[in-house]
Structure 1
């Protein structure tokens, strides 16, 4: 059995199980519910302001379609090989986006959260950095969340920032790495060793290092497909994500022999990649549970750790509609299924951190509450 750890719980876009994602209410609630860190998705405006949205296409998460003054901005674009029609952040200035209000992204599943539609304006990255500083101060810590030696203190609110569509934005003249580092510097965050940056594209993680970023860099890996930066460079012959999670690929990611720019500190994978089909007895909460759970942990976590990589997984969600079939308790998607068993397996798999839409649920399982 794997050695048990105490993974960090990261509020995935805040606490979107309860409030529309990437809003002030969502991030504030995440910390109130015990999240160790929060994860914003970062995209850019036409004037180079970093805003927090799940995607640069914002028709599903804002009320932009209700603004007649922006009707002519609706367009069709190809983003990382996918054709999308809607409104895109890079076609707006921040002043224009600031008049919009956030909406729940999956209202049929999260009807309670959707009652907050229209309540919250959009946030910039700088707004979130200020919120984290205030959270640290309110908790009686120093505003920087650092000890006297400049190290992040264990209880400091953390930031795990995801740079979205980096190759796409670079081609549009909006390099996310440069904009991100400038934002950190302006906020007095550029010396924060505890900042984590993640991306589905290794190229931007490398350029961040080359530009002086010394925080942790985490490579996001999907269960299928190929990274957009590789596809842009190599076309249809680009190796898929599966090559990155092979034994050879993992050692290439974490190898001390690799250049610092090419090396990463960890990987972040889908929960399905941590699980492996099968019915076995697993130990949960220190007690033997002999029930057939339909899934056990794979060897990915152990292999990645042996390569010197931290491992994170995403995304823990309790609704039946979001759970693997073996953990669903009814056909009603909005009802919560056997989330505690599911979370327990993931949190006891040896992962170093989990992303959760309901941070309090992950904390309760991790801390055996």
Structure 2
């Protein structure tokens, strides 16, 4: 199952068939290694970040790894693929993340009107993550596009809005859509304006009419198998009342697992996740081979929302082994302005829980942080782009996380290779 992947340069030279180990030297190496070809390429970003770091032992250690051959690492998780630059949950986004050495890829799982599972971050995000409003399927959206209302002075009075759900359309209709960067223009007067709004620190370069290929859950499984990565599907909370057309929450959770079993994926290569503890407990009780590494996602918005030490201990008693909170929950700043493990992180470790952190590369420029969600507990210690590597180091060394989600896996992959984290 675990293999490695074709590097970007090799893929360009040999064509798409090389990516999947079909032909010539690439196929020969894939046959020997049991997966795709080992040639991870992280591009310039990790080196830019390291160069920008303040001088010190960590910077020197990371610099010494330059030029080393890199391999995929399970420490590096592609959050929705690589959505810093590629439309999330698209084939292109997943392949980009794998080429950067993410050893685990995420498909957020929602369902269509005909109860098929598809990769979308939310059941009701088609209006911001696809081109649906520019197609005839816009007529099927739960809430049609409503233009912004501006005051006499041109100030925004009421933002533009729409709501399009995967459950509004069939799988066949879903397949006709194209993915785009997750964004919208609050001041839009037309659907064409609404689908814009991509932040300046991202890009629409890979959101053209011939890219942004959406994926079903089954298709993601087959792609991930070919890429030689492990899989972490997230069961998204429905926005429709359940049961939906007779489809219960338990059936939804079970269908997710059934599609891995049907594809012949070993349970050890799957990390099912949910923000709903009942989903996690369902897998633990009904699918223990998969449930033993089910991930309980924490949706805390502030430190005050985090579970207490006794609550974390209770998670472990209930059979939960992996707790996954946002990055801020795991980090704090000490008196020497060093980034260190938080009290919640220490409590989780004391409770016997493994930890996964989410998600890096979602905050734009670190030098411009101003009340950012992910850095809220450590913002005073973050002042330059290179501090991202300090954050990764603190998560790895002080917190001891199992893995880190990132919208651009390259820096995490580089760090993991440099520190010999597989």
| Same fold? TM cut 0.5 | yes
Alignment match of 2:94 (pick from 27, 31, 42): 27
Listed as ranges, the gaps of 5+ residues in structure 2 are 1-72, 145-160, 184-197
C-alpha displacement of 1:17: 1.8
1:180 is paired with a residue of what secondary structure?
Answer: helix
1:18–1:72 Cα change, 3 Å: closer
* RMSD (Å) for aligned C-alpha atoms: 2.6
What corresponds to 2:331 in structure 1?
275
What corresponds to 1:129 in structure 2?
221
What are the Cα deviations for residues 117-137 of structure 1, in whole angstroms up to 9, with x where unaligned?
44122101111111112123x
What corresponds to 2:173 in structure 1?
96
Q: Distance in 2 between matches of 1:56 and 1:12?
A: 17
2:94 is paired with a residue of what secondary structure?
Answer: helix
1:252–1:30 Cα change, 3 Å: same
Aligned 1:147-296 pairs, distance under 5 A: 157-165=229-237, 168=240, 170-172=242-244, 173-174=246-247, 175=249, 176-189=252-265, 191-215=266-290, 216-224=293-301, 242=306, 245-255=307-317, 262-280=318-336, 292-293=337-338, 295-296=339-340
Matched, 1:311 2:355: yes
1:122 is paired with a residue of what secondary structure?
Answer: coil
Q: Distance in 2 between matches of 1:47 and 1:183?
A: 16
Q: Which has the higher helix share?
A: 2
Q: Which has the higher strand share?
A: 1
Alignment match of 2:389 (pick from 323, 340, 357): 340
TM-score by length of 2: 0.64
The alignment of Structure 1 onto Structure 2 pairs a total of residues equal to 297
Contact 1:265 1:310 in 2 (8 A): yes
1:88–1:114 Cα change, 3 Å: farther
C-alpha displacement of 1:346: 2.2
What are the Cα deviations for residues 113-155 of structure 1, in whole angstroms up to 9, with x where unaligned?
554244122101111111112123xxxxxxxxxxxxxxxxxxx
C-alpha displacement of 1:110: 4.2
What corresponds to 2:67 in structure 1?
none
Q: Distance in 2 between matches of 1:135 and 1:11?
A: 13
1:180–1:42 Cα change, 3 Å: same
What corresponds to 2:408 in structure 1?
358
What are the Cα deviations for residues 32-87 of structure 1, in whole angstroms up to 9, with x where unaligned?
111110111111111111111111111110000001343242428xxxxxxx9411
What corresponds to 2:380 in structure 1?
326
C-alpha displacement of 1:204: 1.1
2:300 is paired with a residue of what secondary structure?
Answer: coil
2:212 is paired with a residue of what secondary structure?
Answer: coil
What corresponds to 2:55 in structure 1?
none
What corresponds to 1:120 in structure 2?
212
Listed as ranges, the gaps of 5+ residues in structure 1 are 1-5, 77-83, 137-156, 226-239, 256-261, 281-291, 331-335
Q: Distance in 1 between matches of 2:177 and 2:261?
A: 27
C-alpha displacement of 1:249: 0.5
What are the Cα deviations for residues 271-324 of structure 1, in whole angstroms up to 9, with x where unaligned?
1101124442xxxxxxxxxxx34x432132332122221101111116325663
Contact 1:20 1:114 in 2 (8 A): no
Q: Distance in 1 between matches of 2:238 and 2:206?
A: 33
C-alpha displacement of 1:358: 1.1
Contact 1:17 1:113 in 2 (8 A): no
Contact 1:12 1:356 in 2 (8 A): yes
1:26–1:98 Cα change, 3 Å: same
1:368–1:182 Cα change, 3 Å: closer
Matched, 1:66 2:134: yes
